[in-house]
Amino acid sequence: MAGIDFLVFEGVSNELRPWISALEDQFAIEDYSDLNKLALAVYLIRGKSGSFVQRRHEIKYFETWEDLKTSLLWWFGERDDPERMRLQAKRDESSQASCRVKQVVEQASC
């Protein structure tokens, strides 16, 4: 890891995808544990995104790199980012399923 220049993410939407890609490329080259992936990523976050991570840690720590990445995509990702769009579709699907269950329960109790 010596001599490697890492990008820092400061909360600018169009810089998130290159930052994630650079980290994941490094994770593929080196043998990082899940904990080390998360620790490195958190270390490389500053500015607006650093404040977000700090506030989140006051409520609940990120448990994995994937957890952190998902949250960053939600809050700082560009709307047309393919991974963010998949997350949105999954969330919409889950929300629709919850509404259908609620409707069934309400009909059953009438």
Q: pLDDT by residue for the chain (110 residues), tens digit each?
A: 556 789 999 999 999 999 999 999 999 999 999 999 999 999 999 999 999 999 999 999 999 999 999 999 999 999 998 888 888 888 877 666 566 666 666 666 65
| Residues 70 and 90 grouped into a single domain | no
Q: Which residues pair with 9 in a beta bridge?
A: 45
- Output the pLDDT for position 97: 59
Q: Is 107 domain-assigned?
A: yes
Q: Is 1 domain-assigned?
A: no
Domain that includes residue 25, residue range: 7-78
| Residues 100 and 54 grouped into a single domain | no
Q: Three-state SS for 38? A: helix
Indicate the DSSP class of residue 64: S
Q: Domains in the chain: how many in total?
A: 2
CB 84 within 8 A of CB 78: yes
Closest by CA position to 13, among listed 48, 41, 42: 48
